């Protein structure tokens, strides 16, 4: 597999349905287990050998820039000389291999407009694309292999939508035969992100539009949009309920997206 494929992450949305957290920070910086969800996403890609990231920043993007500017220093032990201000890091070889491009694409720009602005940064190469607010245990090697096999311009990862409430199975007397607090609906598929995209697909974006609307609709109409069906774990972080669910999995040592 080609490990030089860059990974584009859309990090610019305002996260209005998670206002309790996003009033003060961008959604990708909301923490699970003391780490931003963005860190979890990068760790997953890095586990498969993808270490070049292009972050499309917008709302409160300066906080994401600051996080990466400080990342190297704050992830290490170091010695500061108070005599001359020199800093010397103490040996640690567990640093991340990430190369991260941080590009301000505008506070109110839509997802398609953000992608269009990144065209020169991405270049003429296949790239991966996902959102800065969702985690999954999708096998990225299989996803990329599937994309290579069909020859289309875009592959999205199709997932089963998580149920918002507990699932009940009742018998004829209304007794509960089965209860599951967090279930998966098996009645259809939704867009779970985790795309693989050919650069020619960006030509389908004609203006500042939602990537998920006209561009993807036209790609589908032209037979250029394929779905990789993922039956495993996937969860977006749209609401406080979603956040608490992800935190409970992490704190309980049962976080399926922790592939590293």
Q: Which residues pair with 100 in a beta bridge?
A: 53
For residue 257, being part of any structural domain is answered with no
Token pair in block for residue 178? 């089965």
Whether the CB-CB separation of 98 and 51 falls below 8 Å is answered with yes
Strands 99-104 and 176-180, how do they pair? Answer: unpaired
For residue 258, being part of any structural domain is answered with no
pLDDT of residue 176: 46
For residue 105, being part of any structural domain is answered with yes
For residue 35, being part of any structural domain is answered with yes
Whether the CB-CB separation of 10 and 113 falls below 8 Å is answered with no
For residue 259, being part of any structural domain is answered with no
pTM as predicted: 0.88
Range of the domain at 233: 7-251
In angstroms, rounded to a whole number, what is the distance separating the alpha carbons of residues 23 and 36? 15
For residue 164, being part of any structural domain is answered with yes
- Classified as helix, coil or strand, 81 is coil
Q: What is the CATH number of the domain that holds 83?
A: 3.90.550.10
For residue 184, being part of any structural domain is answered with yes
Question: What's the number of domains the chain is made of?
Answer: 1
> Which tens digit of pLDDT belongs to each residue from 17-49?
888 889 899 999 999 999 999 999 999 999 999
Per residue of the chain (260 residues), what is the pLDDT tens digit?
Answer: 567 899 999 999 988 888 888 989 999 999 999 999 999 999 999 999 999 999 999 999 999 999 999 988 788 788 999 999 898 888 666 678 999 999 999 999 999 999 999 999 999 999 999 999 999 999 999 999 999 999 999 999 999 887 665 555 555 655 545 555 555 655 678 999 999 999 999 999 999 999 999 999 999 999 999 999 999 999 999 999 999 999 999 999 999 999 99
In angstroms, rounded to a whole number, what is the distance separating the alpha carbons of residues 41 and 28? 9
For residue 200, being part of any structural domain is answered with yes
Please return the burial class of 29, using the count of CB atoms within 10 Å of its CB with bins 0-12, 13-18 and 19+.
buried
């Amino acid at each position: 597999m080609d490990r030089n494929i860059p990974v584009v992450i859309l990090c610019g949305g305002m996260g209005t349905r998670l206002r309790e957290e996003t009033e003060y920070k961008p959604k990708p910086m909301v923490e699970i287990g003391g780490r931003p969800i963005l860190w979890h996403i990068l760790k997953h890609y890095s586990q498969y050998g993808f270490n070049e990231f292009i972050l499309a920043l917008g709302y409160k993007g300066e906080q994401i820039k600051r996080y990466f500017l400080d990342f190297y220093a704050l992830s290490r032990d170091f010695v500061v000389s108070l005599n001359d201000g020199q800093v010397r890091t103490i040996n640690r070889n567990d640093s991340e291999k990430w190369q991260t491009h941080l590009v301000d694409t505008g506070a109110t720009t839509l997802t398609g407009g953000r992608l269009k602005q990144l065209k020169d940064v991405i270049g003429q190469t296949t790239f991966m694309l996902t959102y800065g607010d969702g985690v999954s245990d999708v096998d990225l090697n299989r996803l990329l292999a599937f994309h290579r096999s069909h020859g289309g311009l875009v592959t999205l990862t199709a997932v089963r939508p998580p149920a918002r409430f507990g699932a009940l199975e009742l018998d004829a007397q209304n007794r509960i035969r089965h209860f599951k607090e967090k279930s998966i609906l098996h009645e259809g598929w939704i867009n779970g992100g985790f795309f693989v995209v050919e650069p020619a697909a960006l030509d389908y974006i004609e203006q500042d539009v939602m990537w998920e609307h006209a561009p993807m609709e036209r790609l589908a109409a032209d037979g250029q949009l394929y779905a990789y069906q993922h039956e495993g774990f996937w969860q977006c972080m749209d609401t406080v309920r979603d956040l608490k669910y992800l935190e409970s999995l992490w704190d309980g040592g049962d976080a399926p997206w922790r592939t590293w």
